[in-house]
Amino acid sequence: MLKNMLTLFFVMLITVSVLSAEGEEKYGKEITLKEKTKVTDILSAPETFNGKTVLVEGEVLSVCQGMGCWIEVAGEKENEKIKIKVEDGVIVFPKDAKGKKALVEGVVAPVKAEACEG
């Protein structure tokens, strides 16, 4: 598993808030966690977080241009990112979310690379 990128896969409980100058857009269910987990911590010890529900926050670096089924969110360190993947059609991330801040709650799990194509 790559240390600089881990995929978060959200099966049922998914919440994404994309914040921009125009306001907040919410996707999925309400956020239930209060404490944020650092992307750095997840990438440093992915096995510790596997299967756990976490809340992460960061800038959206890229968005699936096909079905809008994933986003990549920046971590706290340079060149650090985590991929947020949802089941196709459950949530469609807006293609213009790049550069906006995202607050994401979901379950950490490894996902095959081909599951993130689109």
Task: Give the domain ranges of the chain.
Answer: 5-111
User: How is residue 46 written in tokens?
Assistant: 């992915």
Residue 4 has pLDDT above 50, yes or no: no
CA nearest neighbour of 100 among 77, 80, 72: 72
What is the C-alpha to C-alpha distance for residues 74 and 100, in angstroms, rounded to an integer? 11
How much is the pLDDT for 116? 56
- The CATH class of 5-111 is mainly beta
What is the C-alpha to C-alpha distance for residues 77 and 111, in angstroms, rounded to an integer? 23
**Strand segments (E) across 21-95:** 23-28, 53-63, 70-74, 81-86
Residue 6 has pLDDT above 80, yes or no: no
pLDDT digits 0-9 by tens, 39-94: 999 989 988 999 999 999 999 999 999 888 889 999 999 999 998 888 777 888 88
What is the C-alpha to C-alpha distance for residues 110 and 31, in angstroms, rounded to an integer? 22
Question: Taking the CB of residue 24, how many other CB atoms lie within 10 A of it?
Answer: 11
3-state secondary structure of 27: strand
What pLDDT band is residue 114 in, cutting at 50, 70 and 90? low
Residue 20 has pLDDT above 90, yes or no: no
What is the arithmetic mean of pLDDT over 19-48? 84
